[in-house]
Structure 1
């Protein structure tokens, strides 16, 4: 049978939904994602319409809504969306199942997008990035995080070196930045999330490429052309 990357991704993330649900609050409240929403707030005004792409069980979407945004969360996993709907959905926070390369939204619908560690799970990341641009209003902002070289989840792509079919792209932060700049996005800002061994140490003197090489995740803000 022909391998279908996105169907396999849906299946595998359905299988991981329970584990993700058990850990998502910690990730967003005190873990690797705790700095993302404060960063988001510095660049996107309260009251904006936001698509949270790759929302998982919706806890990050929930935190955005609590900060005054109108949020629509999307994930490829039916189980993730079911969990999000059952405990979090209300007037300013909706959830829908969908694929990053075929987003079920009309053009220029949203003021902003949050997309954390999800573009790596798309077979052709360029297609996902183009879809994000399509649903953003002119001048809209994209807050996007990509796994760095030290992130253990990148092991999901390791078996590709044997020629096996996987559902994860090992995309470097510099590769995402280059692709975005080549396709008409404007870089507004960014920062690194580091593992505990680096946190608290002064690494500000390092050039950007070495900083990115140390990261668990790099978070960017890009702007769509006005």
Structure 2
């Protein structure tokens, strides 16, 4: 029987409030030189400057700031109140930041040209519900850039304790599962994908491998989807 006292999203908000300071100390390096440095250039290949972008699960807002620098009109949302407060102070003017739950967004239908969600679906209890909500607020022919943790992003200590019967707020959806979910249930078209790897995995390592095997080696897999 399900534990009705455990609210996944409420608990997620609390835990990310507690992690906000630690995350904020590291996010700049991740976006500038680390695991997230390829994300904005990847998105820019498909999305013209001036487009409206919803940065869902924006954290401390540094990724939103990078989007603004690239010439986009940006709205950032996060479940954590502490993250949103840090985002407002860090990114400065020109970006709207709101505390929002990805499965219950306050925006009207077809509000944005594009959505960016990096390491967000891993923190939702029902990824399909989150994807359906993103589809609702996305304009027709809009773009969606999603970064999902790959198999080598671990060990995933945030979700491991579920094996002991504990309640956790992190799922372990794999890139190939997300692609199938998106194509079969949401109806988006997969336009492109790109792997982000740990040191030791090079282009030579992945050359000639199928996409599924490339994803199996990834720390994070970037997807670019398009709504019909």
Report if aligned partners of 2:195, 2:218 keep a CA contact under 8 Å in 1. Answer: yes
**Equivalent residue in structure 2 for 1:9, among 8, 12, 20:** 12
Cα offset for 1:104? Answer: 1.6
Residue 166 (structure 1) aligns with: 168
Q: For the residues of structure 2 that align with 1:212 and 1:2, how far apart are their CA atoms?
A: 36
Q: For the residues of structure 1 that align with 2:156 and 2:105, how far apart are their CA atoms?
A: 25
Residue 221 (structure 2) aligns with: 218
Q: For the residues of structure 2 that align with 1:62 and 1:195, how far apart are their CA atoms?
A: 25
Query: Where in structure 2 are the equivalents of 1:22-61 lying within 5 Å?
Result: 22-61=25-64
Cα offset for 1:123? Answer: 0.5
User: The residue matched to 1:142 in structure 2 has which SS?
Assistant: strand
**Equivalent residue in structure 2 for 1:125, among 127, 135, 143:** 127
Residue 191 (structure 1) aligns with: 194
Cα offset for 1:103? Answer: 1.1
User: The residue matched to 2:219 in structure 1 has which SS?
Assistant: strand
Distance 1:210 1:145, change over 3 A: same
Q: For the residues of structure 2 that align with 1:191 and 1:50, how far apart are their CA atoms?
A: 20
Residue 103 (structure 2) aligns with: 101
**Equivalent residue in structure 2 for 1:207, among 204, 207, 210:** 210
Distance 1:161 1:155, change over 3 A: same
Cα offset for 1:31? Answer: 0.2
Report if aligned partners of 2:62, 2:90 keep a CA contact under 8 Å in 1. Answer: no
Report if aligned partners of 1:89, 1:95 keep a CA contact under 8 Å in 2. Answer: no
TM-score by length of 2: 0.96
Query: Are 1:81 and 2:81 matched, yes or no?
Result: no
TM-score by length of 1: 0.96
What whole-Å deviation, never above 9, does each CA across 1:53-96 have from its counterpart, x for those lacking one? 110000000000011000000010000000111231413x1100
What whole-Å deviation, never above 9, does each CA across 1:26-50 have from its counterpart, x for those lacking one? 0000000000000000011100000
Q: For the residues of structure 1 that align with 2:63 and 2:5, how far apart are their CA atoms?
A: 34
Q: For the residues of structure 1 that align with 2:20 and 2:80, how far apart are their CA atoms?
A: 8
User: The residue matched to 2:216 in structure 1 has which SS?
Assistant: helix
- Alignment RMSD (CA, Å): 1.1
User: The residue matched to 2:206 in structure 1 has which SS?
Assistant: coil
Cα offset for 1:207? Answer: 1.0
Q: For the residues of structure 2 that align with 1:43 and 1:154, how far apart are their CA atoms?
A: 31
